[in-house]
Amino acid sequence: MINDADLLVNDAHWAFGTGFEDPLAGVDTTVPEGVDAAGLARCCLMLGDDALVLSQRLSEWCSRAPDLEEDIALSNIALDLLGQARLLLARAAAADPSLVPVLPEDSPVPAEDALAFFRDAGQFRNVVLAELPNGDFAETVTRLLLFSTWRLEVFEQLVTHADTVLAAVAAKGRKELSYHRDFSARWFVTLARGTEESRRRVLTAVDALWPWWSALDVPAEVDVVLEQVFAAARVERPEVPPAEDGGREGGHTAALTDLLADMQSVARAHPRGLW
């Protein structure tokens, strides 16, 4: 007879171990003096949710992208965003533990996972732009261009944040985001100046996304970069009234509910992390 103890000689049998991993293990998460802990947590939650939700959307492309290289690229970008989301949600939880949903006492699920998998749509703080369905490849690329240009600029500003954890996450993330932005900007220009059909799809995507994009309060520097990309693509930015984006207060579209149902079902069925 073989005992469990004999089988599990060590965690190295498993590709990534059997335990839950704290992305901030050993990091000093004391909130610095002068920083409002609840405000910091809210900020990390917004940025973390933006990344988590778009990461989930992008990973829907896995095995479905137009070709292998783009499939791998979109999955890699999704993975970068997931990594940023884990750090930011863990940071939010450490700064303000009251944000974290309460799980059964013996649950080993860490705070970042409790935030990701055990909140309902109304508790998510991402912008609607991140949750919209992917649409076609042109729409995915256009959304990623807008999102990563904006996020890169936000991270550039956060590098000097008084909270050293958030500043470190931003300093790391900006390098990743520059690849995401350049990837999507190149595809945006390529499709816009490609065939009649690819251009039509880009223009349709811009029109569909623009109300959600213009609803956002983005730093002026973002426009400077987008202007360059749109000029190279010979695409005009539409003049449309902004949509009402209540995402930061928990007001979402039905698309987020569907996304979460997909993403959260396994974790919710097994809140103790056992099956």
Partner 1 sequence: MTVLTKTGEGAAALASELARAREVAETVVDPELPMLTLADLGVLRDVALTDGTVVVDITPTYSGCPAMATMRDDLVHALHREGFADVRVRVALSPAWTSDWISERGRAALTEAGISPPGPARREGPVLLALKPARRAIRCPLCASADVELTSEFGSTACKALYRCRACLEPFDHVKEI
Q: Which CB atom, from 215 or from 225, has the smaller least distance to partner 1?
A: 225
Q: Which CB atom, from 19 or from 32, has the smaller least distance to partner 1?
A: 19
Question: Can you tell me which residue has the tokens 């997909």?
Answer: 262
Question: Can you tell me which residue has the tokens 């309902």?
Answer: 120
**At closest approach, how far in Å is the CB of 86 from partner 1?**
8
**At closest approach, how far in Å is the CB of 153 from partner 1?**
9
* CA dist 273 → 19, 113, 266 (Å): 10, 11, 9
The total of other beta-carbon atoms located within 10 Å of residue 261's CB is 11
Q: Which CB atom, from 1 or from 9, has the smaller least distance to partner 1?
A: 9
**At closest approach, how far in Å is the CB of 255 from partner 1?**
23
**At closest approach, how far in Å is the CB of 32 from partner 1?**
14
Q: Which CB atom, from 12 or from 269, has the smaller least distance to partner 1?
A: 12
Q: Which amino acid is at 13?
A: H
Q: Which CB atom, from 13 or from 268, has the smaller least distance to partner 1?
A: 13
**At closest approach, how far in Å is the CB of 122 from partner 1?**
27
**At closest approach, how far in Å is the CB of 58 from partner 1?**
12
Q: Which CB atom, from 19 or from 246, has the smaller least distance to partner 1?
A: 19
**At closest approach, how far in Å is the CB of 1 from partner 1?**
26
Range list of H helices, the chain: 4-7, 37-59, 68-95, 111-117, 128-131, 137-158, 164-192, 196-214, 220-233, 254-269
Q: Which CB atom, from 145 or from 256, has the smaller least distance to partner 1?
A: 145
Is-contact 184 78, C-beta < 8 A? no
Q: Which CB atom, from 121 or from 235, has the smaller least distance to partner 1?
A: 235
Is-contact 272 108, C-beta < 8 A? yes
The dihedral sign for the CA sequence 92, 95, 96, 101:
positive
Contacts of 211 (CB under 8 A, 6+ apart): 240, 241, 242, 243
Residue 163's φ and ψ, nearest 5 degrees, are -80, 115
The total of other beta-carbon atoms located within 10 Å of residue 9's CB is 8
What is the contact surface with partner 1 in residues (CB under 8 A)? 10-12, 15-17, 19, 21, 23-27, 69-70, 72-73, 75-77, 79-84, 86-87, 152, 156, 164-165, 167-169, 171-179, 181-183, 185-186, 189, 225, 228-229, 232
**At closest approach, how far in Å is the CB of 106 from partner 1?**
22
Residue 265 zone, left/alpha/beta (φ > 0; ψ -120 to 50; rest): alpha
